Amino acid sequence: MSEQTVRKTALELLVRIGEGGGFSHLLINHAIEKNHFETRDARLLTELVYGTLQRKLTIDYYLEPFLKRKVKPWVKWLLSLAVYQMQFLDRIPDHAVIYESVEIAKKKGHKGIASMVNGVLRNIQRKGVSTFDEVTDPIKRLSVETSHPEWLVKRFVKWYGMDVAKKMCLKNLEPKKVSVRVQPLKISREDALMKLNADGIQGEPSALSEQGIKIKEGNVFQHSLFKDSLTVQDESSMLAGEMMDAEPGMTVLDACSAPGGKTTHIAEKMNNQGKIYAYDLHPKKAKLVEDKAKTLGLTIVEARQADSRQLKDLHSPCTFDRILLDAPCSGLGVLRGKPEIKYQKTTEDIRELTRVQRELLQSVSPLVKEGGKLVYSTCTVDREENELMVEWFLNEHPEFEIDPDFHQDLPDACQSLPGLSEWGLQLFPQDLNTDGFFLTRLRKKGV
């Protein structure tokens, strides 16, 4: 497979994601399978697409002085892809990047576009890109330097101050490591680590979950254990299953369950004894949960399609020992793995999501038994969706409280983190090199 084919595919994906709102991780995986890319080419494609997306606003800043007129979206993405390689990748010579970019421009456009692409890139090669020194406003500078929209930087700074905001924005530019969870009813973490290490895949135990393994080196997706004994899951997400305090024989609800990582984790913690009702708004996603449970050999999961804001029509009050509400959210904690989110989301989106989160809390909370527990989690770092949501809920529902055992039950690695508050735990990506994630555990009074 030629590098030109990889670059051409990267350009197609960038246009689809940047102009059409596609999801980077899904499109990249599909392109790798469709084109039968070998490991090296798959790695390059992933690097080019994620890297160009991650640095989009920085690259726009670099390109601006060299673009005299507006260009078609695909041409802008082609230039951005080239500038990313020239500025942020060492292993690809500039002349090779320019040559391949001009060839793609010839095939996709015409001689005039190819000539313009050649001129812009050679100009950048000769003159170099602008520094950030002339950007004196600290918010704007952080926005340009780390490629986060200004509104988002302002929001981060408002919630957490400049120091935390800067660390978070810089961390969001770093590639994300893979972590996996073992199915302990099939294999112990120790045995899984031994097998992985014996096959050249370096892993180490997670500090957030007794089932978690952080992959340091090697392709775990190719390993035989991946078929039915391992689940890809971020460590922060594993924390939700760990903090459910679920026991064998309980009746549990996972209100927003797809794609099933947390559902199956809870089933494993319950030793596959009891009952878990797993719902998702979309039938295909509910099927994903069902399939994941079958793959892992977990029989206590019943996955169904339903709007969890209407679960009172399916279940009586005080039915569940435990409820997980992993609420739909802005996703501002997972920008390392889904960089397009930072350009697609708006404050209006967050406002709409908080409305949905309130409706979900109002709907599922009556279903908790007295003395039962509800874990609320999100993969965002926005306070309106997290601490302020919990504060609102507790004011509206005095029958609930923060579970008195929540803080002490958190892993040792979380005990001194800056995001630990009376309302729950806000994990920042720079804390433990995980996704940004929030969770808390509420207890229904009465027992």
- Residue positions annotated with a catalytic role: 379
Secondary structure element (H or E) that encloses residue 356, with its range: helix 347-364
CA–CA gap between residue 436 and residue 429 (Å, rounded): 5
Type of residue at 283: P
Q: Token pair 């990249």 is at which residue?
A: 28
> CA-CA distance, 254 to 327, in Å (whole number)?
10
Cα–Cα distance, 426 to 441 (Å, whole number): 13
Query: What distance in Å separates the CA atoms of residue 56 and residue 207, rounded to the nearest whole number?
Result: 34
Strands 368-378 and 301-305: unpaired
Q: Give the whole-angstrom CA distance, residue 255 versus residue 195.
A: 35
First to last CA, the chain: 65
- Length of the chain equals 447
Q: Which two tokens stand for residue 75?
A: 């041409």
Q: Residue with structure tokens 């009050």?
A: 317
Q: Please give the Cα distance from 205 to 214 (Å, whole number).
A: 6
For 219, counting Cβ atoms within 10 Å of its Cβ (0-12 exposed, 13-18 middle, 19+ buried), the class is middle
Our measurement of the distance from residue 58's CA atom to the centroid of its chain's CA atoms, rounded to an integer in Å, reads 22
Q: How far apart are CA 111 and CA 128, in angstroms?
A: 25
* Tokens 């690695």, residue located: 413
Query: Kind of pairing, strands 368-378 and 320-326?
Result: parallel
| Residues β-bridged to residue 231 | 181
Question: CB of 323 within 8 A of CB of 442?
Answer: no
Q: How far apart are CA 259 and CA 274, in angstroms?
A: 21
**Residue 224, Cβ density class (10 Å: 0-12 exposed, 13-18 middle, ≥19 buried):** exposed
CA–CA separation, 326 vs 330, rounded Å? Answer: 12
Q: What are 330's two structure tokens?
A: 């802005």
Distance CA 11, CA 198 (A): 38
Q: Tokens representing 227?
A: 């078929």
Please identify which residue in the block is written with the tokens 């000539």. Answer: 115
